[in-house]
Chains A and B, each alone.
Chain A
Amino acid sequence: MEYMIRFTQVHETFRLAEIHALAVLENMNLEILSYSPTSPFCFIKVPSEEAAIRLVRRSILAKSIYEVWGKGENYVEVHANVHNISSHLWPLYKDASFKFSFDAFQGSRTVTEQRKLIEGFHFLGFEGPIKMKGAEQDFCICEDWKFDAVGLGVLEPESIYLGRYLGGSERDIVGKYDLKKRKYICTTSMDAELALITANITLAAPGKLFYDPFVGSGSFPVAAAHFGALAFGSDIDGRSIRGKGKSNLLANFVQYGLTNQFGDSFVADLTNTPLRTARIFDGIVCDPPYGVREGLKVLGSRDSTKGKEVVFRDGKAHHEEDSYIPPKRPYSFLAMLDDILEFASISLVDHGRLSFWMPTANDQDQEIKIPQHPCLQITRSRRLITYRRIPDAEVVAGDARTERARENGVNADDLNPFRKGYFKGFKPILR
């Protein structure tokens, strides 16, 4: 059977990625029959009505899903198509209470027009009561109008669909997690909607363990926890985890009633991680420091020959004092990406996913080559990069890992071409 997803017209490039991920999560066959980035209406094939409802129920970018009753380029065509493909369904809903709604994308119809168009479907022969609230069946007339139809003087939509509403999505929770209403945020907190989408694409779900090595104020763990995963996070900057007083990372979990889903947070550097070498996590989600807003630093000293001895002050080992702050040195963003991949390959369970955000200066150019690892299969690339940890048996032997040469520079600009480009307005140095 054919179903229609009604997407939102935002973050278009993530819509299919999210739906494909949800199909993997729900373990169902999904076939995309037609999709366009410029239209919110997407036609798909899934095994059953029940599967269709499950597919979108936790989507952030889909709004709802419909059973397709007919489509066409004008109402004559739609009426004919409804006769052809769905007349066997009409008797099922003959006595049910129902309502019709109207969804004109990029277009508008007056209430009188809407009413006339709805009445055009009187041939369906519904005899049940009309209820605008709490109807058993909700039918929707969807119109897809050309962009700027009014300006261009276009009078009719490009396509028209009739659908029976099956179920909604989790779209509404985006407002609940809005950063403006969150107790504790920091300068690098991830937009709530994007964090939730990332959690979906990385397959966060009940019973799974998720980890964010650059946790900050916990945007990703909160999103993973929302979908039921047990969320862990660490950061080299303990201040972001501890916060101030009652406003800290844990407070966000408390605010959203997710404390059952809070794994742990600790202070650690990914290049000197305390996590043991074992396949522990189902998902790793992060937004690595690009070194533009926050310096990209790791443990160590700028001068690698220094600081190899324990420092004693007044007979006390300095590093054992509470006031001790370990020295940090700038680090290469590209080397950090390699480190993330290596860490993911040893820490993810089979088919576990790694997602991270890549910096881009604008939509057209991807300045940084996507890092690769033989154990990690790229499932999505462009801005949000997602990999799947393939089982060892599937890893192509001898496919040596091409690691980027470690930059030898000392200051932040030498180590980080993105930072350098960013502050120089992306003149052609990177390409």
Chain B
Amino acid sequence: MKVLTLNFLTCAVKACKSTSTSFPLHPKDCELVSDTIEPNALLILNILPRIDWNALITTASELGFPTLPALPPTRDELESNEKMMSELHTLLLETQISEGSLVCGNCGHEYKIKEGIANFLLPNHLV
């Protein structure tokens, strides 16, 4: 599972969705792998406004990445800053969680990730 995807996901429990603590999900005991993916500046620029930047800061620090700036770059800044573009590319698209789990900060439910595929099916008592 990519870090980008993690930024789109929250707890599947309906009661959690409206709480601020359910997002982002917190990686736990995660194994990271890095894939080589061709740089795609257009994609990063399009993704930028859809990223929840504060959540990305949290995720990056929890996964042990260097601290991100407090505010997201603007489109123009990102276009002219090759280094930041490449760092975001590495973080969002190339970094993958292959094994581990994601924990909801509200209900504490753990979603397991196996071979890069996360399982968000809820047990009956949480549906």
Known: A307-B124, A324-B123. A266 touches B12 (CB 8 A): no
Q: Are A207 and B43 in contact (CB under 8 A)?
A: yes
Q: Would you list which residues of chain A between 204 and 225 have a CB under 8 Å from chain B? A: 206-209
Across the interface, A268 reaches (CB within 8 A) one of B12, B23, B46, B52, namely B12
Across the interface, A260 reaches (CB within 8 A) one of B12, B40, B119, B121, namely B40
- Could you say which residues of chain A place their CB within 8 Å of the CB of B50? 209, 278-280, 349
Q: Are B12 and A300 in contact (CB under 8 A)?
A: no
Write the B95-125 contact mask toward A (1 if CB under 8 angstroms, else 0). Answer: 0000000000000001100010111111111
Q: Are B9 and A276 in contact (CB under 8 A)?
A: yes
B84 at the interface (CB under 8 A from A): no
A266 to B113, CA, bound (A): 9
B4 at the interface (CB under 8 A from A): yes
A289 at the interface (CB under 8 A from B): no
A315 at the interface (CB under 8 A from B): no
Q: Are B120 and A230 in contact (CB under 8 A)?
A: no
Q: Are B43 and A272 in contact (CB under 8 A)?
A: no
Across the interface, A207 reaches (CB within 8 A) one of B1, B11, B45, B127, namely B45
Across the interface, A238 reaches (CB within 8 A) one of B38, B111, B119, namely B119
B75 at the interface (CB under 8 A from A): no
A282 to B125, CA, bound (A): 34
A274 at the interface (CB under 8 A from B): yes
Query: Which residue of chain A has the shortest Cβ distance to B9 in the bound complex?
Result: A274
Please give the distance in Å from A420's CB to the nearest CB on chain B: 26
A267 at the interface (CB under 8 A from B): yes
- Could you say which residues of chain B place their CB within 8 Å of the CB of A424? none
A301 at the interface (CB under 8 A from B): yes
- Could you say which residues of chain B place their CB within 8 Å of the CB of A234? 120
- Could you say which residues of chain A place their CB within 8 Å of the CB of B118? 266-267
B70 at the interface (CB under 8 A from A): no
Q: Would you list which residues of chain A between 279 and 331 have a CB under 8 Å from chain B? A: 279-280, 282, 299-301, 306-310, 318-320, 324, 326-327
Query: Which residue of chain B has the shortest Cβ distance to A299 in the bound complex?
Result: B127
Q: Are B2 and A272 in contact (CB under 8 A)?
A: no
Known: A264-B1, A301-B124, A326-B123. A208 touches B115 (CB 8 A): no
Please give the distance in Å from B107's CB to the nearest CB on chain A: 12
Query: Which residue of chain B has the shortest Cβ distance to A207 in the bound complex?
Result: B42
Please give the distance in Å from A155's CB to the nearest CB on chain B: 55
A241 at the interface (CB under 8 A from B): yes
Query: Which residue of chain B has the shortest Cβ distance to A309 in the bound complex?
Result: B125
A234 to B124, CA, bound (A): 20
B14 at the interface (CB under 8 A from A): yes
Interface centre among B2, B17, B110, B117 (most CB of A within 10 A): B117
Q: Are A268 and B121 in contact (CB under 8 A)?
A: yes
Q: Are B12 and A230 in contact (CB under 8 A)?
A: no
Known: A241-B117, A263-B5, A266-B5. A272 touches B14 (CB 8 A): yes
Query: Which residue of chain A has the shortest Cβ distance to B35 in the bound complex?
Result: A259
Please give the distance in Å from A64's CB to the nearest CB on chain B: 28
Q: Would you list which residues of chain B between 26 and 45 have a CB under 8 Å from chain A? A: 35, 37-38, 40, 42-43, 45
Query: Which residue of chain B has the shortest Cβ distance to A304 in the bound complex?
Result: B127
Q: Would you list which residues of chain A between 231 and 254 have a CB under 8 Å from chain B? A: 232, 234, 236, 238, 241-242
- Could you say which residues of chain B place their CB within 8 Å of the CB of A320? 110
Please give the distance in Å from B79's CB to the nearest CB on chain A: 13
Query: Which residue of chain A has the shortest Cβ distance to B16 in the bound complex?
Result: A274
- Could you say which residues of chain B place their CB within 8 Å of the CB of A310? 123, 125
- Could you say which residues of chain A place their CB within 8 Å of the CB of B124? 299-301, 306-308, 319, 326-327
Known: A266-B1, A272-B122. A230 touches B43 (CB 8 A): yes
A277 at the interface (CB under 8 A from B): yes
Q: Are B122 and A299 in contact (CB under 8 A)?
A: yes
5 A-B pairs closest in CB distance: A319-B123, A307-B124, A207-B42, A268-B120, A264-B5
Given A274-B9, A276-B10, A327-B124, 5 other A-B contacts at CB below 8 A?
A242-B117, A266-B5, A266-B120, A269-B120, A326-B127
What are 5 inter-chain pairs, A to B, with CB distance below 8 A? A266-B120, A276-B52, A299-B122, A307-B124, A326-B123
Chain A contact residues, CB within 8 Å of chain B: 206-209, 230, 232, 234, 236, 238, 241-242, 259-260, 263-269, 272-280, 282, 299-301, 306-310, 318-320, 324, 326-327, 349
